[in-house]
Amino acid sequence: SISLYAVAIAGALGAESVDYCDVDPDRLALAAELGANAIEGPPNGRLGSYPITVDGSASRAGLTCACRSTEPGGECTSVGVLFEPDTPMPLLEMYTRGVHFHIGRAMARPVIPDILELVAAGRLHPEKVTSAVVRWDDAPEALREPHSKLVIER
């Protein structure tokens, strides 16, 4: 779901174009609905040259593709968790192109006011990515069901 939120935010901020690569037909359809060019299939090598890339695949191939698809001086962010202890990365390529790499959870609190402004202005629609919103007391049952993005409110 984070990659789909990234698609939505890129569009809300005025990105000229957004490419989204995935193997899941439902996520591809949603990415297209959010304005992305949906690229079906597993990430292979390099998809292009982008100023900003986001890897949410949680796979070696996806991470490598995002790193290699980041233009010189660009920003590559990985939000997918790789549980393999020795995950190779194309570090020499990234070094020679000056790619900035960030992995881990985003520090969202400072940008929440900006996000809320985009929502209030009707430019960002996070509800399109959110698949279910349930009350706290209903969370145990909801967690047993597959959701692309489950939000639990308290």
pLDDT tens per residue, range 49-102: 999 999 988 888 899 999 999 999 999 999 887 877 788 888 898 999 999 999
The secondary structure of 88-119 as a DSSP string is: ---HHHHHHHT-EEEES----GGGHHHHHHHH
Alpha-helix residue ranges (DSSP H) falling in the chain: 2-12, 25-33, 60-68, 91-97, 112-120, 139-142
Indicate if the pLDDT at residue 107 is higher than 90. Answer: no
State the pLDDT confidence band at 131, using cuts at 50, 70 and 90.
confident
- Give the three-class secondary structure for 4: helix
Indicate if the pLDDT at residue 139 is higher than 90. Answer: yes
Q: In angstroms, rounded to a whole number, what is the distance separating the alpha carbons of residues 85 and 62?
A: 16
Mean pLDDT of the chain: 91
Mean pLDDT for the stretch of residues 125-140: 92
Q: In angstroms, rounded to a whole number, what is the distance separating the alpha carbons of residues 112 and 91?
A: 32
For helices 25-33 and 2-12, give the axis angle rounded to 10 degrees: 10
State the pLDDT confidence band at 22, using cuts at 50, 70 and 90.
very high
Question: In the chain, pLDDT over 90 holds for what percent of residues?
Answer: 69
